[in-house]
Homo-oligomer: A and B are copies of this chain.
Amino acid sequence: MARERVTVVDIARAAGVSKSTVSLVLQGSSLVNEATRAKVNAAIRELGYVYNRGAANLRQSKSKIIGIVVNDLTNSFFAELAVGVDAVVQSAGFVQFLANTGEKSERQREVIASMREHGVSGLIISPARGTEVSDLAPLVASGIPVVLVVRDIADAGVSSLISDNHAGAMAAVRHLIERGHRRIAFLGGFPDTAVFEARMRGFRDALREAGMPAVDELVIGSAPSRAGGVTAIEQAMMLKERPTAALCFNDAVAFGVCDGLRARRLEPGADFAVIGFDDVIEAKTAVPALTTVSVDPQGMGERAAELLLKQIMAGRAEPEAIVSPVRLVVRQSCGGTVERRVKEISS
């Protein structure tokens, strides 16, 4: 196998036309006669021609590649985000370079550089923890469109698409208060991130609004993972005055909290109210189904991709900062008996 590459010249020869004509056909130009177009297409099929996008890009100096870099692909939130991006991007005729940084900003620098070398025409980035404006500076200076998702970086000078973490957290806590809870914990997440900060502020503001004190020992950070949730709830249950409900940093933490409760023979939902954040797919089917603030990761990926494509098409666009509305989906884990009751929040 592995025979010589078939090029436009080969198929031009086979079809008895010039390579220019072949190029026209490849681009679906209307300038070319039906009969010749048919001849050329026949030759293309005959010789098993494969278009060389790299060569075309070189001449046109633009590509149909977009890059997406995520901080943790093993977290299904980000996997779903990537799926959303992929769907939009593919149907626009682009392909995506996907890289996982695993929260390491060194690797993030490398992969962004690598993507630039490959000539991506736009980049969607969910920044690694601790990413600074200076990490992104050379990229934004180059003028290629960038959309930040999930985590914003102040003054980076690029578009961003984040969810309304503050409003979501407030709505969740209000709901818990309405149900009669008076000792509510905020569990999980790394305290030095903007997302944590926003959700925690929502938590605090809702308590203040209800005239309830914010007890510091009820805010317990941890890794934003299932395992982190287990340790956070364990710590919470060691307190003299235990909480009766918790808003969790994200769904993974919430699942861990449920696990940890069961390990102490407490039934999530019945004995202790748990609310998550993100609404990953498993949230709906878990038992008990998880009450959570729905961020719709896949939809967010789609919107990020659309925003990026818009900017790519427009050439030069003003950076937009979009805050995506969020809604509380009440399921069983917060003691609700009402399935599928949905509260619209917004912004």
Query: Which of B98, B116, B143 meets A96, CB within 8 Å?
Result: B98
Given A260-B287, A282-B226, A285-B230, CB of A53 within 8 Å of CB of B118? yes
Q: Is A5 an interface residue (CB 8 A)?
A: yes
Q: With a CB–CB cut-off of 8 A, which chain B residues contact A63?
A: 54
| Distance in Å: Cβ of A267 to nearest Cβ of chain B | 9
A259 touches B230 (CB 8 A): no
A96 touches B97 (CB 8 A): yes
Contact with B along A72-113 (1 / 0, CB 8 A): 011010011011001100100001111110100001001100
Given A79-B76, A83-B73, CB of A50 within 8 Å of CB of B142? yes
A119 touches B259 (CB 8 A): no
A95 touches B114 (CB 8 A): yes
Q: How far is the CA of A54 from the CA of B114 in the complex (A)?
A: 12
Query: Which of B76, B86, B116 meets A100, CB within 8 Å?
Result: B86
Given A73-B79, A116-B50, A255-B282, CB of A287 within 8 Å of CB of B316? no
Chain A residues within CB distance 8 Å of chain B? 1-3, 5, 48, 50-55, 57-58, 61, 63, 65, 73-74, 76, 79-80, 82-83, 86-87, 90, 95-100, 102, 107, 110-111, 114-119, 138, 140-143, 225-227, 230, 255-256, 258-260, 262-263, 281-282, 284-287, 316
B55 touches A58 (CB 8 A): yes
- Give the copy number: 2
Q: With a CB–CB cut-off of 8 A, which chain B residues contact A281?
A: 74, 226
4 cross-chain pairs, A with B, having the tightest CB-CB distances, nearest first: A2-B143, A259-B287, A98-B98, A1-B143
Given A54-B63, A58-B58, CB of A138 within 8 Å of CB of B259? no
Query: Which of B3, B87, B117, B259 meets A286, CB within 8 Å?
Result: B259
Q: With a CB–CB cut-off of 8 A, which chain B residues contact A57?
A: 54
Query: Which of B2, B86, B102, B262 meets A99, CB within 8 Å?
Result: B86
